Amino acid sequence: MEKINDEIAKGAMWMVAFKLIDRGVGLVSTIVLARLLAPADFGLIAIAMMLIGALQLLFAFNFDVHLIQKADAGRDQFDTVWTFNVLFGMLCAALLAVLAHFVAVFYREPRLEAVVYTLAVGCFAAGFANIGPVIFRREMRFDREFNYMLCKRLAPVLVTIPIAFWLRSYWALAIGQLTGTLAAVLLSYYVSAYRPRFSLKARSELFHASKWLFINNLLSFLNGRAAEFVIGKFAGVAGLGIYTVSSEISTLPTTELVAPINRAAFPGYSRLAHDIDQLRNSFLGVISAIALFALPAGIGIAAVADLMVPAVLGWKWLSAIPLIQVLAVYGVLTALQTNIGYVYLAVGRPRLITAVAGAQFVVLFTLLLPATWYWGATGAAWSFLITAICMVPVNQVLIARQLHLSAFAYGARLWRPALASLIMAFALLGLKRQLALGDETPAYVLALLLCVAAGAAVYAATLYLLWRMSGRPDGAERACLDRAGDAVRKLGLRLNLV
């Protein structure tokens, strides 16, 4: 148990380190591109990516999950997964080529047709990516995966930004997307010695194991990206562009930061699935770590959105402020719930994910259609937030039954970071009232930096005091303090916070 938890923690550190770099690169890229391009440019690419996402759902069986769960998966399984990926990539590219004209007509955007043709090339190439890097996750060798994923991330950015300076056009985004896909395929063969071959020997086994994951992927898409079809139709490409960038900024440190933790936790959960007590303790440890970072990040973004938009994105994006505030809170709630699904996968209960996602889809689209019709992208953001609030009790009841988890044990891991985050938010609101801001961008930049520093200090100090007042319990706070103490001692200093 202790060894597996250590492996999960190390894996999470590698994946969080990557995600911090990844999102940092992504944030810089988004800021630069937002100042070079118009909201409609982002909306145009978002529509094309939605179409690709919808078609990829036809082949989204998540076979790699089976490769990770099945300890004795060998060449037959790996080669069959690779063969299916090649076939699915070809079919997806062909369908994109057929639909490109009709999508352009539907959205009354003739520019879409050429963009979709370009991205179809990427779908074709992506199918040939090596399946070998999945072994990194199965064997929890996250340092190898870190290097692989980091190289994949940097390639499109190094292409997109220079082209954006040159063209000042949506083509920078399209070419960058294609470049990233091609780089990922080449890198997959460079980092892994595994060389796949065409085979369909394990097709029956894979389809039987992955049928529920296919349904879950479909519902996940409907609960996320599919909503953008509605926004694009009712709010137009400019409204969709604002929504897309708002979502990118607002969920940056919550759902995006949590994703690598979940990625590292899943193999560990799979190993502990036979022992509910150990699985419950591991789950609570992961949730504690998620709450420690996701809560202050999301609430902090909501508190400083009115400074962030003019300072980071520019004045033409002011209409994104309410969306960022709403979606930041949505990101917090989502971050605290996403890890639950990995427990269900580990214990072989994917049907529970399907049931929850199905209920969420019904609630979301009941709200989304009228809200987007009347209030545009802002109405869509509120639909997501209200849906997330409605799903919290559902998720909590189900995971409590699965892990024999009491509400007290769960709440004990959350109340300190939650209270510290709220105190931080009130402190930031008070600080902002004291700032004299004009209409100059540098003033907003300085105010944002001041608020970020003050918010971090208030949150850290408050959390530490609450932890001491609670009797210094084991958990994410103690783990962070221990690691901080180790780092300080390596510098030759003595600091005992525990």
What's the average model confidence in pLDDT over 261-289?
Answer: 80
| pLDDT over 60 at 46, yes or no | yes
Check residue 215 and give its pLDDT: 65
Select from 295, 294, 322 the least CA-distant residue to 308: 322
What's the average model confidence in pLDDT over 389-400?
Answer: 91
Check residue 157 and give its pLDDT: 77
| pLDDT over 80 at 35, yes or no | no
Q: What is the pLDDT of residues 452-490, one digit of tens each?
A: 999 999 999 999 999 999 888 877 788 777 777 676 666
Q: What is the pLDDT of residues 85-135, one digit of tens each?
A: 898 889 889 989 999 998 888 888 888 899 999 989 988 998 898 887 777
- Residue 302 inside a domain? The answer is no
| pLDDT over 70 at 18, yes or no | no
Check residue 260 and give its pLDDT: 65
- Residue 495 inside a domain? The answer is no
- Residue 101 inside a domain? The answer is yes
Contact 270, 346 (CB under 8 A): yes
- Residue 125 inside a domain? The answer is yes
Check residue 410 and give its pLDDT: 86
| pLDDT over 80 at 27, yes or no | no
* Residue 218: domain span: 1-225
pLDDT band per the 50, 70, 90 thresholds, residue 246: confident
Q: How far apart are CA 193 and CA 330, in angstroms?
A: 41
- Residue 371 inside a domain? The answer is no
Specify the higher pLDDT residue, 290 or 423. 423
Q: How far apart are CA 415 and CA 426, in angstroms?
A: 17
What's the average model confidence in pLDDT over 261-266?
Answer: 70
- Residue 465 inside a domain? The answer is no
Select from 254, 252, 232 the least CA-distant residue to 243: 232
- Can you give the pTM of this predicted structure? 0.68
- Residue 1 inside a domain? The answer is yes
* Average pLDDT score over the chain: 80
Check residue 369 and give its pLDDT: 86
The total of structural domains in the chain comes to 1
| pLDDT over 60 at 10, yes or no | no
Check residue 217 and give its pLDDT: 64
Specify the higher pLDDT residue, 324 or 15. 324
| pLDDT over 50 at 2, yes or no | no
- Residue 63 inside a domain? The answer is yes
Q: What angle do CA 401, 476, 257 make, to 5 degrees?
A: 85
pLDDT band per the 50, 70, 90 thresholds, residue 221: low
Check residue 415 and give its pLDDT: 93
Q: What is the pLDDT of residues 280-333, one digit of tens each?
A: 888 888 888 888 888 999 999 999 999 999 988 888 888 899 999 999 999 899
**For residue 212, how many other CB atoms are within 10 A of its CB?**
19
